[in-house]
Structure 1
Amino acid sequence: MEADKDSEIWYAMRATYRREPDAMRLLEKENFGCFVPMQYKISIKKGKKIRVLVPVVHNLLFVHARPSELKRVKSQVAYLQYITDTRSGQKIIIPDNEMQRFIAVAGSYSDHLLYFQPDELNLSKGTKVRITGGDFEGQEGIFLKVKGARDRRVVIAIQGVIAVAMTTIHPNLIEVIK
């Protein structure tokens, strides 16, 4: 699914050897949209506990750019690579609406979000839902039980790349999408 050459599309990419901050700076300098899912972790520096914002999955970033411009920049930067679908070998391109939903949730940097590799969840067992209130009002996802959580959660997935499970949401704030 290669989009027409002059429109911007979202690509799932890797920045090898944990160079996602370098890649983000470079891509933002080129005026590309970038997103790296981040999360706060507690680390100890000089004997003190501090909260540090770190990438959820090292080497993963999402880039919003025109294919021709991204190809030009990528040819100059060896550590920037496309993520491809293992079955088809095609570059993974994420639809705008799916990416906007993912950014709305993952961009909150909440400690209560759980992240999963695509093969860790069986999304077909869940129910498609829309959140009707709270911080994530209007978001759509799959409502299912995830490991590491007592109750069911709403999951937003980027097919073949990553999935994020939201914090516990009261059942009154969820409506099933038929």
Structure 2
Amino acid sequence: MEDNTKQPLTADASLYNGQPSDTGLSCPSAGLTSRTPSISKNKGGVSVKNVPDASKQWFVLRVSYGRIIKAKAFVETKGFECYVPMRYKEVRKQGKKRIITEPLLPSFLFVHATAEQVETLLYEIKVSTNESRNLLSYYFDHTSQRQDNPDRNPPLTICDEAMNNFIRLTSIKNPHIIPVTTEIIQYKLGDIVIVTEGDFKDIHGRVARIAGQQRVIVELFDGCLVATAYVPKEAMRKEKSITLLD
């Protein structure tokens, strides 16, 4: 049986980025009063400002379809820091507006560990006892080649700065934060900015127009783009230079 992707009421910040799957709260507006939650390092929780560790990296791992809950539970039992971004989705139940959560990127799990530790994770657990397929696999960086084998791509890793920015964005409880593709962006990604006010304060990204609204796009890796809700021009500042990717 495939995993239910709803978040348990006792979810920990090391697994998810927010609240129980059905809060019963109405959708928050995208106003200029910051409501960004503070994510701190406690009891295994994910911190927006991770303590640098040269031996560890953020690996992007693929998860067998529908098994993100099983995957994160397995990784956590091994004592590794991992992150599952959740999307806040507005629904109506019995005529009332509610917000539930579902995986923002249901095929990906982000694991902070050494290369050797990740290697052991990949081969330690299968999809099920009756199958030989691995539950986790590498997502490869198709923009570079391995030094020891130029014909192959290395596993994709995300630098701490970019991962912190991504965690900060996807930890904001706002159903208008959405994954996007380049096809729905109405014009080329524009200026690199930092948001200075509101829900998305301190988020770094590029300005773009989506569905007729000005938003800020965070690109974690090639093809993985997440958009904020509407951000007014006066709530952002152009950045002269910033490096969020390796």
Task: Give the alignment's TM-score, normalised by structure 2.
Answer: 0.61
Is the Cα contact below 8 Å between 1:118 and 1:162 reproduced in 2?
no
Query: Residue in 1 aligned with 2:59?
Result: 11
What residue identity is the alignment partner of 1:79?
Answer: L
- Report deviation, 1:41: 3.6
- Report deviation, 1:157: 0.8
What residue identity is the alignment partner of 1:104?
Answer: R
Deviates more, 1:5-14 or 1:54-63: 5-14
CA distance in 2, matches of 1:20, 1:108: 21
- Residue among 111, 116, 119 paired with 1:63: 111
- Report deviation, 1:58: 2.0
CA distance in 2, matches of 1:22, 1:10: 19
Q: 1:6 to 1:67 in 2, by over 3 A?
A: farther
What is the SS of the residue equivalent to 1:154?
A: strand
Q: Residue deviations 1:52-108, cap 9 Å, x none? A: 321123221111111111111221121101111335422111011001100101122
Query: Residue in 2 aligned with 1:141?
Result: 205
CA distance in 2, matches of 1:44, 1:173: 31
What residue identity is the alignment partner of 1:82?
Answer: Y
Query: Residue in 2 aligned with 1:81?
Result: 137
2:157 paired with 1:93: yes
Task: Kindly tell me the number of residue pairs found equivalent between the two proteins.
Answer: 171
- Residue among 157, 166, 178 paired with 1:114: 178
Query: Residue in 1 aligned with 2:213?
Result: 151
Aligned-pair RMSD on alpha carbons?
A: 2.8
CA distance in 2, matches of 1:95, 1:122: 29
Bigger proportion of residues as strand: 1
Bigger proportion of residues as helix: 1
CA distance in 2, matches of 1:76, 1:12: 17
- Report deviation, 1:17: 2.2
- Report deviation, 1:136: 2.2
Gaps of 5+ in 1: none
Is the Cα contact below 8 Å between 1:38 and 1:55 reproduced in 2?
yes
Q: 1:37 to 1:117 in 2, by over 3 A?
A: farther
Identity level (%): 27
Q: Residue deviations 1:16-48, cap 9 Å, x none? A: 021111111111111212112211346799xx9
Task: Give the 5 Å matches for 1:159-174.
Answer: 159-174=221-236
Structure 1 ranges of 4+ moved more than 6 A: none
CA distance in 2, matches of 1:107, 1:123: 27
CA distance in 2, matches of 1:54, 1:90: 30
Gaps of 5+ in 2: 1-52, 126-133, 145-152, 241-246
What residue identity is the alignment partner of 2:78?
Answer: E
CA distance in 1, matches of 2:161, 2:154: 20
